[in-house]
Amino acid sequence: SQSHLGDPSSAVLWLWLQPRGLLAVSLPTADIISTVEFNHTGELLATGDKGGRVVIFQREPESKNAPHSQGEYDVYSTFQSHEPEFDYLKSLEIEEKINKIKWLPQQNAAHSLLSTNDKTIKLWKITERDKRPEGYNLKDEEGKLKDLSTVTSLQVPVLKPMDLMVEVSPRRVFANGHTYHINSISVNSDCETYMSADDLRINLWHLAVTDRSFNIVDIKPANMEDLTEVITASEFHPHHCNLFVYSSSKGSLRLCDMRAAALCDKHSKLFEEPEDPSNRSFFSEIISSVSDVKFSHSGRYMLTRDYLTVKVWDLNMEARPLETYQVHDYLRSKLCSLYENDCIFDKFECAWNGSDSVIMTGAYNNFFRMFDRNTKRDVTLEASRESSKPRAVLKPRRVCVGGKRRRDDISVDSLDFTKKILHTAWHPTENIIAIAATNNLYIFQDKVNSDMH
């Protein structure tokens, strides 16, 4: 079926599915959501926040009594992943904020994920328990040792059913691998290794080894005064375990092959768009900095986000992007004030849908944008409680730039730059998206999809 993004006459509109557990969680304002990540089948969704907490949501199974309940996500588990720390050597506070979460492919009944703050990566194991052993010989039910003189006969402990309990335990701590701030982690398709990237270096870790990592990229100049570029994001190729990409603050992408050399300082491909000289300004370099890079599910393309655009790159074409989409071109004339209020340094993420045909990214005023690569249609939607009641259909929004203004249009000057959608995730196989708007999580599903169920 053809998609008609944002066409009000078509049935493909976005519906707000309120995760029922969310109201119960009611995240306090201090805890701004800092990352969102679906697991590989989309049944679980993890969020990390500024307070170092991880909240996991689980999709409810379909129920006959409540036909609309399918697709709703409930809180499954909440745990404290990172605590604030102090680096005494450098006299620096290390924030507990979770920068990234990555799920590991499930290998047994337990789920595992990696979470990272600026410095330390942790591997967590999440298990379910619905039975507990009773009738120990030497301990009582509270676990206290019994007075041995009262133990007169030998009994066999039995497993008794109990309410489902989700237990989260730290399995490994990968510390001391980074001098600078970690911006990305990515699990390799070999399922045995992962990498972590900071401003100047990328390390490769074995998931079972915490005390050493291999440095695979190092762009630190001998003299820090010669520093002109930093690493902004990095990801492994989804199918070829030897390939990875990293993006830079100068707007370039480097594809590296670990088979070519242990230290990948010489990239195998450099993707860069030549700058249009007529557009050069004081802000050119800042706005071309890549804030996110994502391989398509097929592995053929890469998606990048810079301040004003999202770009699709073909792995076989280095000279320019295959497609460029304007996210909010109306801000081009406002760069000076966006520089003054620091918004120009905001790091927006981007996401592919499951079939790589639609891309999504965030903007200001709690707006987010979707671009259909086939039909070239695009839509602006808003994540807010005021504009969307649960199970209501989202109305496309429009920003007007001078000229004639339609009803419901919002003018560029009334956009709220404190409300920004930086973190988004798309369900791997269905049209379900998760949007983090400051301390609120919104889950939207397309209407066609939900009506079919």
Ligand X SMILES: *[C@@H]1O[C@H](CO)[C@@H](O)[C@H](O)[C@H]1NC(C)=O
Residues that bind ligand X (CB under 6 A): 3, 12, 39-41, 43-44, 105-106, 276, 279, 332, 353-355, 357-358, 429-431
- Tell me which H or E stretch contains 351: strand 350-352
| Rounded-to-integer distance, Cα 46 and Cα 112, Å | 11
Which residues partner with 23 through β-bridges? none
Give whichever of 103 and 364 is closer to ligand X, judged by the CB atom. 103
Minimum CB distance to ligand X, residue 169 (Å): 17
Minimum CB distance to ligand X, residue 76 (Å): 8
Minimum CB distance to ligand X, residue 302 (Å): 18
Structure-token pair, residue 146: 């019994």
Give whichever of 297 and 398 is closer to ligand X, judged by the CB atom. 297
Minimum CB distance to ligand X, residue 431 (Å): 5
Minimum CB distance to ligand X, residue 329 (Å): 6
Minimum CB distance to ligand X, residue 353 (Å): 4
Long-range (24+ apart) CB contacts under 8 A made by 376-383 are: 377/3, 377/4, 377/5, 377/6, 377/7, 378/5, 378/6, 378/325, 379/5, 379/6, 380/6, 381/6, 381/14, 381/444, 383/421, 383/435, 383/437, 383/440, 383/442, 383/444
**Which of 74, 81, 40 minimizes the C-alpha distance to 57?**
74
Give whichever of 105 and 170 is closer to ligand X, judged by the CB atom. 105
Written as one letter, the residue type at 93 is: E
Give whichever of 429 and 438 is closer to ligand X, judged by the CB atom. 429
Minimum CB distance to ligand X, residue 177 (Å): 25
Contact 258, 214 (CB under 8 A): no
SS3 280: coil
- Length, in residues, of the chain: 453
Minimum CB distance to ligand X, residue 79 (Å): 16
Which residue is closest to ligand X by CB?
A: 354
Which residues partner with 218 through β-bridges? 201
Give whichever of 214 and 283 is closer to ligand X, judged by the CB atom. 283
- Tell me which H or E stretch contains 20: helix 20-25
Give whichever of 50 and 354 is closer to ligand X, judged by the CB atom. 354
Give whichever of 85 and 318 is closer to ligand X, judged by the CB atom. 318
* Torsion sign across C-alpha atoms 229, 230, 234, 237: positive
Give whichever of 3 and 361 is closer to ligand X, judged by the CB atom. 3
